[in-house]
Amino acid sequence: MEQEILNRLQAQEDLLQKVYISTEKTRKYFLWTFYATLALFVLPLVGLMFAIPALLSTLGSAYGF
């Protein structure tokens, strides 16, 4: 009886370790997805916040607006 309980506990611990590994992989995937979103979407928007006024200023002075 005691050996059966120990076997079940070992099997549960093995499954828990597999779940932990899978969870860590998923967490890292979401972290890299966040970094990619930041690099490919947010940073260009921040750049445009500076580029558009400079462009409008240049065009305004060139065409006399």
Which domain covers residue 20, as residue numbers? Answer: 1-64
Count of C-beta atoms within a 10 Å radius of residue 25: 10
The rounded distance, in Å, linking the Cα atoms of 6 and 37 is 46
What pLDDT sits at residue 62?
Answer: 85
pLDDT score of 24:
98
CA dist 41 and 23 (Å) reads 26
pLDDT number for residue 65: 67
Determine contact, residues 27/21, Cβ cutoff 8 Å.
no
Low-confidence stretches of the chain (pLDDT beneath 70): 65
How many domains does the structure of the chain reveal? Answer: 1
Q: What is the pLDDT of residue 63?
A: 85
